[in-house]
Each structure stands twice: as structure tokens, then as C-alpha cells.
Amino acid sequence: MRLFLPIVAGLGFLFLYVPIASLVIFSFNESKLVTVWGGFSTKWYGELFRDPQIIDAFQISLTIAAISATLAVALGTLAALVLVRFGPFWGRPVLSGMTTAPLVMPEVITGLSLLLLFVSMERLVGWPAGRGMLTIIIAHTVFCMAYVAVVVQSRLVDMDDSLEEAAMDLGARRVRVFFDITLPVIAPALISGWLLAFTLSLDDLVVASFVSGPGSSTLPMVIFSKVRLGVSPDVNALASLIILVVALGIGLAALAMRKRR
Amino acid sequence: MAAPDTYPRPWRDQTDPPFIRIKSITKRFGDFAAVDDVSLDIWQGELFCLLGGSGCGKSTLLRMLAGFETPTAGVVEIDGQDMSRVPPFARPTNMMFQSYALFPHMSVEKNIAYGLQRDGLGRAEVAGRVAEMLKLVQLDGLAKRKPHQLSGGQRQRVALARSLVKKPKLLLLDEPLGALDKKLREETQFELMTIQDQLGVTFIVVTHDQEEAMTLSTRIGVMDAGRIVQVGEPRDIYERPGSRFVADFIGSVNLFEGEVEAAAPDFMRIRTAEGGILVPPEAGFGSREKVAVAVRPEKIRLSREAVGADNALTAVVEDYAYMGDCTVYKLKLPSGRVVSVTETNGFGAEPFTWDEEVHLGWPAAAGVLVRG
Ligand SMILES: Nc1ncnc2c1ncn2[C@@H]1O[C@H](COP(=O)(O)OP(=O)(O)OP(=O)(O)O)[C@@H](O)[C@H]1O
Ligand SMILES: [Mg+2]
């Protein structure tokens, strides 16, 4: 009985991390065959950095993720503020529904509807001209914003209203109150919202495939197309690098959160 | 404390204009009136306590003074100025919140300085005033701490310092001592009175602790269901409650229900189940009117022999509680009513015990006639 918890926890960890561990280990495989161990080597990492297609895609993905996460935080925070602070108003249920819709909508539908929107907008107003990074950024902002809104909303609800009243009582006007009090208090939610949006954007394959254009293949799209031709060890190396980046990001976020407490 | 005759009591003669004028103020949430047609005058330098049960509208009244709620009807004037269109940040008031509302991301020092910085004061002056305030609330060593690194009592002092530092004309305190233990509470009550003496600020303090109201205030306003039912000095409220609710709410009291039987120039007789009870004459009560006589437990004398008193009854000791300085007796009257009587534990007197028959008596002047 006493061993029950450690065993269950151990199984859970195995289940979660064995695939990742095997991926990392095989990324150091000398052999070209993915499943046969041929000795230790870092040559696939070197190969990776010599592949211009991957370097490009990596840059594109990072740029898109950074921009759309930032936009999503700005818009999602505004939406959350309106929903939490402004009480019942005309159109509130609609706004509330619209902000959470992308959470439950299948990605295929989000992608398809955005594609249709972009195509018809191009025909009607001539913008956005063609599909590429811009359309991916817009699409990612749309669905990431929903996640940010949810995260920020719960933080705002938890926040003691009298903090803002106290600031106002001490002579601060509304805008000041927002920047001096509200923003710092909800900052942890903004940081985790940004990181969430960043990883969601980095990870997205489906929506991006719908709305991307020539020369704007994101990393997941490149990996996917490579894997369809057979798994090669350099994809393992790439995946290991992504894991490293994500782990670093999460570590930093945790550190930032702890400092705030 | 100053001698009673020199202590300023501007509300008695009402020649000075009041500092705060609340004129028939009402606040409705939907159909429900949280504050219902309240009028109140408060003078400069007062420490006015709002006392009342939970949900009676104390906080709502305070929040209307601070500007966080807009009155449905009525006007608030502070220092002769109509506050209707003045937003919270421009009012000459500061509020100490029940939850303290300390800014969690700012140090003690920055919390206190925040209000001064909003007034655009210079760096040196801000630092000076903050240091002064920290000294006053005895937090000198803790200036750099964040609120979560403080104890409850220390947080409360920071909140107090933050609301005092701007030297507002009016300070609103919403249950300022609610979260403190008894000892810290008494210390802080004393500190509050000292601060008030030093700064001459006008205080309005919300509390539902009547003992606190008694010790702190120049006057007390008792609220019930959104209305102010009585305003007066602590002694008046206690000795001369204006209604059955006030008598019952403040301290403990024995209520004898009955009706007015006879009114003479120097006394009135009330017919109750316990017989006729004499009270001082009170205007405005007609014959046969349903009334109650309120008698405080400490004003009734107990003895083993019958004594001559305006009101004399016999009873049996049902129970008693020894409290150290005094003993509280529960006495059963022949009518079945239970009366409580407090006896000071003096020297040598033999205490009464269970089932003992006792005589109780009190002078007519000890009773107060209330409606209901
Ligand atoms: N924003 C609001 N909307 C609806 N009703 C409210 C609102 N604020 C207060 N009330 C109601 O108004 C009444 C008075 O509330 P208030 O906070 O003034 O009570 P209180 O006297 O301060 O009580 P307590 O001693 O418990 O703090 C309560 O019945 C409360 O439910
Ligand atoms: Mg309250």
C-alpha cells in the first residue's frame, strides 16, 4: 500500500517522458537508421544547422510566435478587462461567447474559416494580399487570444477590487490605476498567457497549413513534410532542440512567478 | 482626556456649522434600499462610530462618502462643498479598507508614499512624510518589506499609515480593527485616539463591536436596515436608548413589556405582567400605549431582605456566572420571565446561590421607556 503512490507516480513519469527521452537519445545516434543505435555522435545537429530550409522555418516560426503571442496578450487582456470589469452591458454575452469559441472549435474549422475570410477579404478590399506570414500571425493571434483572455480573466476575478479603489482614493485617475496597480497585479497572468500563446503558436500545424502561403512554411510544417518522406535523425535533433527551448522558457517563467510571490 | 466641561461638543448647541452634512441619502441596489434616507451631521474633529448589525448598510454609507458608490438620492457635503460630482480621487477623504487593500507589489514605504506621489510632492518631502508616518505607527524597521512579509497587525498599521499620510480632512475607517486580537486591538484603539488628537482629523469608523464604539467615539450612530435609528454620545446611547432595538443592541438589557397605565408629572406607571413598574415621565407616550421598560442588569440591586425601592420584585436564582470582577445572575420571576442582574464582587458579601429567593429593586430613574 505504501508503495502505491511511488509506483503510480513512476508509471506516470515513464509514460510521459520515455518517448521524449528516446527521442533525445536517438538524436545523438551515429547511424542513419533511426531505430538502430550506431554509436554517439552530434553530426545530426551539425547537419541541421547546414540545412537552410530548417533554419528559415525556425526563424519564421519564432517570429510568428513572438508577434502573435504579444498581440494575443494585448487583445486578450483587453477582452478580459471588458468582460470582468464593465459589468453587464449590451453585447456582453456575445463577446463572452466569441472569446471562448476558439477554445472549443476544432482547429480544422478555425483554419478553414480563416482561410475563407482571407480569400474573400483579398477579393473585396485587397488586403491581406496573398497568404504568408501576415495571415498566419493574424490567425494565431485569433486563437491564442482566447487562451490569454481565459487566463487573465481568472486572475482579474481573483483580484481584490478594493486595491483599485484604494489607489483611486489616494488620488490616482483611472489610467494611472490601471498601470500602477492592475497591470502589476495581473502581470504573472500576462507572462503565463504570453508563454502559453507562444508555445501554442510554435506548435500549430493545422491552422498554419490552411492560411500559409509560398515561402512561409513554419517549422511544424517543414517537419511534417520531412517525416512524410521517412523519419530522419536530423528531425530528432531538431525536436530535441525545441524541447530544450521550451524547457528553458518554462523554467524562466517559473522563476519569474516565484519572484513575484 | 480633558475634563468633561472643557471637552468640545459642538453637536450639543449646534452653533458651529457641521463639517460633514449628509442630507437624506439613499442607495438602492435594484429594489433593495441598502441605505434608506439617512441624514447625519458630523463636526470637525469628531470620531464618529457607525454601529449596526451585519448588512445594515454601514459600508455602503462609507463608500458613498468616499465616492465609490453614487447615491440614488440625496447629497453629501464635506466642508460646505457638494460632493455629488467629485470623483473619488479628488475628494478630501481617505479610506482604510476592511481588507486593508495594500498594494501587494509595493513595499511598505511605497504603499505609504503612493498617495503623496499622486499629489506631485517632491522626493525629499515624500520621504520625510513617509518616515514620520512610519514612526507614528511604529513600523520604522519594516519600510522595505512587502505586505505579505508582515503580520496581520502590522498590515493594519500600514493601511492606517497610508490613509493618514495625506492628512485628509475626513478619514473613513471600515472595521479597522476587525482582524486583530484583543490586546493589539486595545493598543491600536488607544493609538487611533492619540493620532486623532495629534492630527485633528475627523474620523468616521465603522464597527460592529459595540465596546469598541463606546471606547473610541465622540458620538455613535446606530444603524438598522439602512436607517440611522439613533445618534448620540456613548453615554446617551447606553443610558437613554431611544428604541427597543437600540436598547437591545447596545449592551444587555432587561425588557418588561406592558402598557402605559398612569402618567403623573414626576413618574409614569407601566402595567406589566410583573405588576406596575415606575419610570421617569417621558413625553410622547399616550395612555394604553404598548411600551417596554428597559433596565440595565447593573442597575438592579439584589438583597436577601425586602428593601424599599420604587420598583421591588422577588425572584429565584436560576443560574449565575462568576466573571471575576462581577457575577451575572439569571433570576426567574413569578411571571416566568428571566431577568439578568450584574452584581459587582465587592468585599465580604455572601454570594447568592441556586434556588435562593432574592429581592430585587431599582429606582424609577434607572428604567427607560421605549416603544414596542
Ligand atoms: N453592489 C451591491 N449589489 C447589491 N447589493 C449590495 C451591494 N453592496 C451591498 N449590498 C447589500 O446592501 C446591504 C448593506 O451592505 P453593506 O456592505 O453596507 O453592509 P454592512 O453594514 O457593511 O455589513 P457588514 O457589517 O457585514 O460589513 C447588504 O444587504 C448587501 O447585501
Ligand atoms: Mg461592511
If one compares A95 and B238, the residue with the highest pLDDT of the two is B238
If one compares A246 and B240, the residue with the highest pLDDT of the two is B240
* Cα angle value A152/A156/A158 (rounded, 5°): 120
**pLDDT at res. A22:** 86
Residues in contact with B202: Cβ distance below 8 Å, sequence separation at least 6, in sequence order: B19, B20, B42, B43, B44, B45, B46, B47, B48, B169, B170, B171
- What gap in Å lies between CA B223 and CA B225, rounded to an integer? 7
* Residue in A165, A180, A185 closest to B68 by CB: A165
Q: How far away, in angstroms, is B70 Cα from ligand 1 center?
A: 14
Q: What is the arithmetic mean of pLDDT over B154-182?
A: 87
The nearest alpha carbon in chain A to B90 belongs to: A171
Residues in contact with B234: Cβ distance below 8 Å, sequence separation at least 6, in sequence order: B213, B214, B217, B219, B220
Return the closest-CA partner of residue B232 out of B372, B55, B368, B96: B368
**pLDDT at res. A72:** 96
What is the number of the ligand 1 atom nearest to the C-alpha of B27?
12
Q: What is the pLDDT of residues B234-248, one digit of tens each?
A: 999 999 999 999 998
Residue B1 pLDDT > 50, yes or no? no
User: Which of A73-77, B44-48, B304-308 is predicted with the least confidence, judged by mean pLDDT?
Assistant: B304-308
Residue B289 pLDDT > 60, yes or no? yes
Q: Alpha-carbon dihedral of residues B234, B235, B236, B242, nearest 10 degrees?
A: 80
The nearest alpha carbon in chain B to A163 belongs to: B101
**pLDDT at res. A261:** 53
Q: What is the pLDDT of residues B43-93, one digit of tens each?
A: 998 999 999 989 999 999 999 999 999 999 999 999 999 999 999 999 999
Q: Do B115 and A261 touch (CB under 8 A)?
A: no
Q: What is the pLDDT of residues A205-226, one digit of tens each?
A: 999 999 998 888 999 999 888 8
Number of H helices, E strands in chain A: 12, 0
- What gap in Å lies between CA A217 and CA B134, rounded to an integer? 61
Q: What is the arithmetic mean of pLDDT over B287-304?
A: 91
Q: How far away, in angstroms, is A82 Cα from ligand 1 center?
A: 25
**pLDDT at res. B338:** 94
- What gap in Å lies between CA B146 and CA B251, rounded to an integer? 40
**pLDDT at res. A239:** 86
Q: How many CB atoms lie within 10 A of CB A139?
A: 27
The nearest alpha carbon in chain A to B118 belongs to: A171
If one compares B42 and B180, the residue with the highest pLDDT of the two is B42
Ligand 1 site-directed mutation target among B32, B72, B204, B222, most atoms within 8 Å of CB: B32
pLDDT band at A110 (very low <50, low <70, confident <90, very high): very high
B54 pocket-lining for ligand 1 (C-beta < 6 Å): yes
User: Which of A185-194, B9-18, B268-277 is predicted with the least confidence, judged by mean pLDDT?
Assistant: B9-18
B34 pocket-lining for ligand 1 (C-beta < 6 Å): yes
pLDDT band at A99 (very low <50, low <70, confident <90, very high): confident
**pLDDT at res. B28:** 95
Q: Count contacts between A and B (CB, < 8 Å).
A: 63
B60 pocket-lining for ligand 1 (C-beta < 6 Å): yes
Residue B168 pLDDT > 80, yes or no? yes
- What gap in Å lies between CA B74 and CA B313, rounded to an integer? 50
pLDDT band at A128 (very low <50, low <70, confident <90, very high): confident
* Residue in B94, B99, B166 closest to A160 by CB: B99
Task: Return the DSSP state at B155.
Answer: H
The ipTM assigned to this model is: 0.81
Does any CB of chain A come closer than 8 Å to the CB of residue B105?
A: yes
**pLDDT at res. B237:** 93
Residue A96, burial from CB neighbour count under 10 angstroms (0-12, 13-18, 19+) = middle
Percent of chain B scored above 70 by pLDDT? 98
- H helices of B168-261, in order, are 182-199, 210-216, 234-239, 244-249
Does any CB of chain A come closer than 8 Å to the CB of residue B322?
A: no
**pLDDT at res. A138:** 95
* Residue in B66, B89, B105 closest to A171 by CB: B89
**pLDDT at res. B102:** 96
Instruction: Give chain A's domains with CATH numbers.
Output: 57-231 (1.10.3720.10)
Q: Do A167 and B105 touch (CB under 8 A)?
A: no
Residue closest via CA to ligand 1's atom 6 equals B29
Q: Do B101 and A184 touch (CB under 8 A)?
A: no
Give B-chain residues touching A168 at CB under 8 angstroms: 68, 87-89
Does any CB of chain B come closer than 8 Å to the CB of residue A73?
A: no
- What gap in Å lies between CA A163 and CA B135, rounded to an integer? 24
Q: Do A163 and B101 touch (CB under 8 A)?
A: yes
**pLDDT at res. B103:** 96
* Residue in B99, B105, B163 closest to A184 by CB: B105
Q: What is the pLDDT of residues B309-327, one digit of tens each?
A: 899 999 999 999 999 889 9
Instruction: Give chain B's domains with CATH numbers.
Output: 18-244 (3.40.50.300), 252-371 (2.40.50.140)
Does any CB of chain A come closer than 8 Å to the CB of residue B57?
A: no
Q: What is the arithmetic mean of pLDDT over B114-136?
A: 93
Residue closest via CA to ligand 1's atom 30 equals B55
The residue length of chain A stands at 261
pLDDT band at B2 (very low <50, low <70, confident <90, very high): very low
